[in-house]
Structure 1
Amino acid sequence: MKLSVLQENFTYGLTTTSRSVAAKAQLPVLSNILLATDQGRLKLSATNLETGINLWLGAKIERQGAISIPAKILTEYVSSLPAEKIDLEIKENLLYLTCGSYKASFIGLPAGEFPNIPSLKGKPEVSLLTKDLSLAISQVAFAAAQDEGRPVLTGVLIQTKGENLILVATDGYRLSLKKLAGLREIQKVVEFQKGLLIPARTLVEVGKIISVGDEEKTLGLTITPEENQVIFTTPDCEIVSRLIEGKFPEFEKILPQKGTTRVILDAQGLAMAARVAAIFARESANIIRFEVGDSKLKVSANAAQVGDNVSEVEAKIEGKGGKIAFNSRYLLDFLNSANSDLINFEMTTSLNPGVFTPAGDKSYLHVIMPVRVQE
């Protein structure tokens, strides 16, 4: 293999693909990125055996070839080079790299030892507008569980309901739900009617990739039932992920009914009060308290060894008011994703879930379970 590629492009490609490299690889080759020529472009591939990525970069190809190189050192080295042309050449098991006055060689492994990553053949089954999906992922994926103890909760359920595509995630303490409307072609795909469980980590990575560039571009999505995989495609990238097996909780049954107290709040004011309270809450299991009444929401936290704080947020209130407590981290995660100037908050009692929605946006709903506290 002999080719030339721009340092900026190569750095972007290596940084992106390296996020799919196995953190604790059982096989040396899983710590590598595969470099290969493919139809006049440089193809980068990486996998952790759960998720795989193929990414193509523009390059001037002089000779075909392929080799896999340790991802960490190659990415770190290329990122440190000046923004100039990089020349790559393979000789036996070595990759020689030249960038201006900088020269290096890397010991690689044969391309034949690298795991095969499926690639889409033909057109994708469905196409989604990237700006809609990128926002939906940012509003849902964070609510999935990090603990692998219950694998189904580490995924995001994607399912068609009527004319909507619904994304749902829950870790048992909170639930995020987002509806995307007007996606008629998806309704015809049987797998979406049944529901797909996609690892949240995969969707976060998809979100990072599609958030770069033109908002009007589309993302292709294809299901391979025989391999239990999903393939996301853009013109220059493919992300392949296994689907999670198992039954997702029947989330519709646990969605709260309309609350007896409804509050409209300034999102920025609530976020600031929550962040301030979280400083004290760190010392007391991240618990912050809400008290609704007298056209204001009181946000407070206390820690026996530190002290306490109280903030007031102007609010428009309907209903009898009341008190409730939440985990500050869960509340801040939602506020960071809300993408709205005003927030609707509904509650019934201190033991019933709190429901948060962006004002004027019925497509997004977030539920947080309360924390039981002693008065």
Structure 2
Amino acid sequence: MKFQVERQALADAVAWVARSLPQRPPMPVLSGILLSVDSDELTVSSFDYEVSTQMRIEANTDTAGKALVSGRLLADITKALPNRPVEFSVDGSRLVLTCGSSKFTLPTMPVEDYPALPKLPELSGTVNSDEFARVVSTVAVAAGRDETLPMLTGLRIETDGETMTLAATDRYRLAVREMTWKPASPGQKIEVLVPAKMLSDTAKALAGSGEIQISLSAGADGLIGFSGGDRHTTTRLLDPEFPPFRKLIPSDQLATADLQTQDLIEAVRRVALVADRGTPVQLAFDDGSVKLSVAGEDEGSAEESLPAQLSGDDIRIGFNPQYFLDGLGAVGADSVRMSFVTSTKPAVLSPTSSESEGEAVDSYRYLIMPMRLPG
């Protein structure tokens, strides 16, 4: 095997693929990146039986072939190379990499022991890459991280016609948002659960690629694939069982309050500086204002007041500061509306716009459980 590629294209491809390498591979070969070159193209790949990634770049090939080398080492090397063409060749059980005056000789692993990469499933539809990245990032903040509850570590994707709904919950908060997409088949409906971290990383990496192709295969070993430009990735789906999230969003409300999002974020950050672990940030709403306060046992106390347009009864409620900040940061609008039922039931955050006199500007809903307040 002998070929030459441009350094920046190589570094981008290796970085994209290396992001999916397992931290603790069950087999040594799964820590590797597979380089496959044919007449005019290099394919850089990784696979750990759960997630596969691939990227193709142009190559000037003298001799086709395959080589498997340590993925993280290759990523470190390609990132540090000078901006010169990079030449690869295989010498026995070694891969020789030359770039300008730099030369690296890396041990290879047996290609025959590497698992066959899964093929992309059948195309299900396409989405705008930038919009998909934005929506996924604002929903994934509510996904769980407890691996003993795998269904809560996933991000639910449902489609109905040209509407795609994404949802995530960790039992303490719930995030839901809708977006449009282009289904390959008008009548198809999708209900899948995708690992949230993988989906978040993939959506972010594919942003700017124009359109993302979403491919899906059903069944016990269901796969979902995402393609943007020359980048492709697949992952196994989680068990589709997921809480009936639409029923969790309150249909009635005791009061609503509209506030400036950034002002509220900054105020919460300030008062939370004295919060002990497990201490809520308290919000006391009355006509025209909200008082934020934290009473920390060891660090002291803090309070701050902000203007608030309250509609309905006065209310006093408390939230986990970080969960509250996650929701405010995901709203994505200058003004946020908080909707309340009672001080012991979940509140809902949604984006509003002062230009449209408080009307919701999109479908985003962030439901957050309150914390018990002192006294």
The alignment's TM-score, normalised by the length of structure 1, stands at: 0.93
Q: Does 1:46 align with 2:46?
A: yes
> Unaligned regions of 5+ residues in structure 2, if any?
353-359
Structure 2 CA distance for partners of 1:280 and 1:39, relative to 1, 3 Å: farther
Give the drift of 1:33. Answer: 1.0
Question: Which stretch of the first structure deviates more once superposed, 251-260 or 94-103?
Answer: 251-260
Give the drift of 1:286. Answer: 5.0
Give the drift of 1:124. Answer: 2.2
Q: Does 1:136 align with 2:132?
A: no
Give the drift of 1:357. Answer: 0.5
Give, as a single letter, the amino acid of the residue that structure 2 aligns with 1:58. Answer: E
Take 2:314 and 2:61, find their aligned partners in 1: how far apart are those partners?
68
Question: Any conservation in 2 of the 1:165–1:183 contact (CA below 8 Å)?
Answer: no
1:127 aligned residue: 126
Match of 1:266 among 252, 260, 263: 260
Take 1:39 and 1:223, find their aligned partners in 2: how far apart are those partners?
30
Structure 2 CA distance for partners of 1:231 and 1:201, relative to 1, 3 Å: same
Identity of aligned residues (%): 28
Give, as a single letter, the amino acid of the residue that structure 1 aligns with 2:364. Answer: Y
Question: Any conservation in 1 of the 2:161–2:183 contact (CA below 8 Å)?
Answer: no
2:317 aligned residue: 324
Take 1:186 and 1:289, find their aligned partners in 2: how far apart are those partners?
49
Q: Deviations over 1:229-269 (max 9, x none)?
A: 11111230111110111411111221112321111111110
Give the drift of 1:58. Answer: 2.4
Match of 1:228 among 201, 222, 226: 222
Structure 2 CA distance for partners of 1:162 and 1:98, relative to 1, 3 Å: closer
The within-5 A match list for 1:58-73 is: 58-73=58-73
Take 1:182 and 1:145, find their aligned partners in 2: how far apart are those partners?
26
Matched position secondary structure for 2:301: strand
Question: Any conservation in 2 of the 1:54–1:238 contact (CA below 8 Å)?
Answer: yes
Q: Deviations over 1:2-60 (max 9, x none)?
A: 12222222222222211111111111011111111146221111123221111112222
Give, as a single letter, the amino acid of the residue that structure 2 aligns with 1:297. Answer: V
Matched position secondary structure for 1:125: strand
Take 2:237 and 2:300, find their aligned partners in 1: how far apart are those partners?
47
Give, as a single letter, the amino acid of the residue that structure 2 aligns with 1:205. Answer: D
Aligned-residue Cα RMSD (Å) equals 1.8
Take 2:186 and 2:279, find their aligned partners in 1: how far apart are those partners?
42
2:336 aligned residue: 343
1:76 aligned residue: 76
Take 1:132 and 1:340, find their aligned partners in 2: how far apart are those partners?
15
1:256 aligned residue: 250
2:357 aligned residue: none
Question: Any conservation in 2 of the 1:286–1:329 contact (CA below 8 Å)?
Answer: no
Structure 2 CA distance for partners of 1:63 and 1:163, relative to 1, 3 Å: closer
Question: Any conservation in 1 of the 2:256–2:311 contact (CA below 8 Å)?
Answer: yes
The alignment's TM-score, normalised by the length of structure 2, stands at: 0.93
Take 2:218 and 2:2, find their aligned partners in 1: how far apart are those partners?
38
Question: Any conservation in 2 of the 1:322–1:349 contact (CA below 8 Å)?
Answer: yes
Take 1:187 and 1:279, find their aligned partners in 2: how far apart are those partners?
51
Give the drift of 1:225. Answer: 2.1
Match of 2:206 among 199, 207, 210: 210
Q: Does 1:315 align with 2:308?
A: yes
Give, as a single letter, the amino acid of the residue that structure 1 aligns with 2:299. Answer: V
Question: Any conservation in 2 of the 1:258–1:346 contact (CA below 8 Å)?
Answer: no
Give the drift of 1:185. Answer: 4.5
Give, as a single letter, the amino acid of the residue that structure 2 aligns with 1:203. Answer: L
Q: Deviations over 1:338-364 (max 9, x none)?
A: 221111111122201010001132311
Take 2:73 and 2:130, find their aligned partners in 1: how far apart are those partners?
33
Q: Deviations over 1:199-239 (max 9, x none)?
A: 1122112212222x34xx11111112254111111230111
